[in-house]
Amino acid sequence: MDIQDDKVINCDVLVVGGGPIGSTAARFAAKNGVDDVLVIEKRQEIGSPVRCAEGISLTWLDEVEIEESDHFIKKKVKGSKLYSPNGNKMTIGKELAGDEVGGVLERDIFDKEMAVLAGREGVNFMLKTAATDVIKENGKVTGVKAKKMGEEFEIHADLVIGADGFESQVGRWAGLYEQIPSKDIMTCFQYRMVDIDIEPDYTHFYLGKVAPGGYVWIFPKGDDKANVGLGVQLNQLDGNKSPKDYLDEFIDSHEGLKKGQAVDMVAGGVSVGHPLDSVTMDGLMMVGDAARVVDPLTGGGIANGMKQAKIAGEVAAEAVEKGKVDEDFFSRYEERWRDRLEDKIWRNYMAKEKAVELSDEEFDKIIDALSEVDLTELTTEAILKAVQKKYPELVESFKDML
């Protein structure tokens, strides 16, 4: 990092946002040869406060070169239980349950660990430092304006990686994309609860009008502790009712939860839209929630974001080395992350769009049908085929997805 004067800092790759995705993109850029990688993070502490239900699977950690550790995995689970409004239930093993089931994190420790791994590759972190705008010259992003404890300055970089999360401004300042439409925002509220009765070896998902367009989750963090929360699709909120109101109603109607105490609360949003047409422009790559690669069906964004971040870091290193930091060169980033992730995001987006329309009775039938079959894969197609056997009329409107 070269500090020209008080007002300008120069680096090779600048990452805006020190979440797990920003740290991972920075780690892979440094690991692949970039000397001077700087991450700026507006908060004073990486990973805190936590805004997450902390569910992940453990199957993709190898891909992003992370060793599984009790240090950041608080609890491992055997699988998931899905409940329909009338209490029909199905159990899915963790091997089928997707990228959000397998373990429950200590997310603050996980995020810090991701920063440590990046630091070990030589990445510099600047905390309490917020990007306030991007700097563009002749249509190319060349850095950001930044503010640290009242001090304003500029950071110039060969390449900027926008990893500033769900509320990303970097992509908007650069003119890469617009606001997320309300139908593609899941608005979430969660308590960390203790002294509750739960089945701690499973994650639990409650479907239907308890959380319109989303679901209620119970992710265990111990025998009598869990993250209990929900996401509601923003345009499905009923009048003046807030996500907290929905969650309080749900807890009140479950004795095992009602008896417990909430020791922490979290509110936040998740984008559940389809992949963007482009997440790059000259001088800029977007990654993670800021590139909207969250799984639209589950709202989980850590796994997709980390996989994408590795590719972003590798391509960033190649781009800096070759001096080709333009959109043309970044097409190899676009191609690689889309090859890895895009199909599934699109499929789950279409499934989410249909699921939002389902009534409580339809959810009852779907879980009823699924509870009777032994699914060997949990693809949208496998689910629809299983439901079709018992309730063919229900699958009529989904036929185009088969």
Nearest to 386 by CA among 360, 400, 368: 368
The span from the CA of 372 to the CA of 386, in Å, is 9
**Gap between the Cα atoms of 357 and 345, Å rounded:** 19
Which listed residue (61, 294, 358, 369) binds ligand FAD by CB under 6 A? 294
Q: Is residue 163 part of the contact set for ligand FAD (CB under 6 A)?
A: yes
Q: Is 9 an interacting residue with respect to ligand FAD (CB under 6 A)? A: no
* 302 scored as a contact of ligand FAD (CB under 6 A): yes
Cα 136 versus chain centre, distance: 28
Only one of the segments 52-60, 241-249, 352-360, 366-374 lies at the binding site for ligand FAD (rule: CB under 6 A); that segment is 52-60
Question: How far is Cα 229 from Cα 211, in angstroms, rounded to an integer?
Answer: 10
Residue 54 as a binder of ligand FAD (CB under 6 A): the answer is: yes
> Does the footprint of ligand FAD cover residue 11 (CB under 6 A)?
no
Q: In angstroms, what is the minimal distance from the CB of 394 to ligand FAD?
A: 28
Using DSSP bridges, classify how beta strands 79-83 and 89-93 pair: parallel, antiparallel or unpaired: antiparallel
Residue 172 or 354 with smaller CB distance to ligand FAD:
172
CB of 132 to ligand FAD, least distance (A): 7
What is the closest distance, in whole angstroms, from the C-beta atom of residue 323 to ligand FAD in the complex? 27
Binding ligand FAD by CB under 6 A: which of 11, 29, 40, 92? 40
53 is a site residue for ligand FAD (CB under 6 A): yes
Should residue 169 be labelled a site residue for ligand FAD when binding is judged by CB under 6 A?
yes
Per CB under 6 A, does 370 bind ligand FAD?
A: no
Classify residue 272 as exposed, middle or buried by CB count within 10 Å of its CB (0-12, 13-18, 19+): buried
Q: Determine which residue in the list 10, 51, 242, 391 makes contact with ligand FAD, applying CB under 6 A.
A: 51
Supply the minimum distance, in Å, between the C-beta of residue 97 and ligand FAD: 12
Check residue 211 for interaction with ligand FAD (CB under 6 A). no
Stretch that binds ligand FAD, among 40-48, 58-66, 174-182, 370-378 (CB under 6 A): 40-48
Enumerate residues 246-275 that contact ligand FAD by CB under 6 A: 266, 268, 270
**Binding status of residue 20 toward ligand FAD by CB under 6 A:** yes
Shortest separation between residue 25's beta carbon and ligand FAD, angstroms: 9
Among 9, 12, 17, 206, binds ligand FAD (CB under 6 A): 17
367 close to 320: Cβ distance less than 8 angstroms? no
Cβ at position 310, least distance to ligand FAD in Å: 13
Residue with Cβ nearer ligand FAD (272 or 369): 272
Using the rule CB under 6 A, is 378 a contact of ligand FAD? Answer: no
Give the one residue of 64, 77, 97, 100 binding ligand FAD; rule: CB under 6 A.
100
**Contact flag: residue 55 with ligand FAD (CB under 6 A):** yes
The minimum distance between CB 343 and ligand FAD, in angstroms, equals: 19
Amino acid at 161: I
User: Does residue 43 interact with ligand FAD by CB under 6 A?
Assistant: yes
Q: Quote the least distance from Cβ 212 to ligand FAD, whole Å.
A: 16
**Three-class SS of the chain:** CEEEECCEEEEEEEEECCCHHHHHHHHHHHHCCCCCEEEECCCCCCCCCCCCCCEECCCCCHHHCCCCCCCCEEEECCEEEEECCCCCEEEEECCCCCCCCCEEECHHHHHHHHHHHHHHCCCEEECCEEEEEEEEECCEEEEEEEEECCEEEEEEEEEEEECCCCCCCHHHHCCCCCCCCHHHEEEEEEEEEECCCCCCCEEEEECCCCCCCCEEEEEEEECCEEEEEEEEEHHHCCCCCCHHHHHHHHHHCCHHHHCCEEEEEEEEEEECCCCCCCCEECCEEECHHHHCCCCCCCCCCHHHHHHHHHHHHHHHHHHHHHCCCCHHHHHHHHHHHHHHHHHHHHHHHHHHHHHCCCCHHHHHHHHHHHHCCCCCCCCHHHHHHHHHHHCHHHHHHHHHHC
Residues 176-195: x where in contact with ligand FAD by CB under 6 A, - otherwise, as a string:
------------x-x-----
**Contact footprint for ligand FAD (CB under 6 A):** 16-22, 40-43, 51-56, 100, 130-131, 163-166, 169, 188, 190, 229, 266, 268, 270, 288-290, 294, 299-303, 305
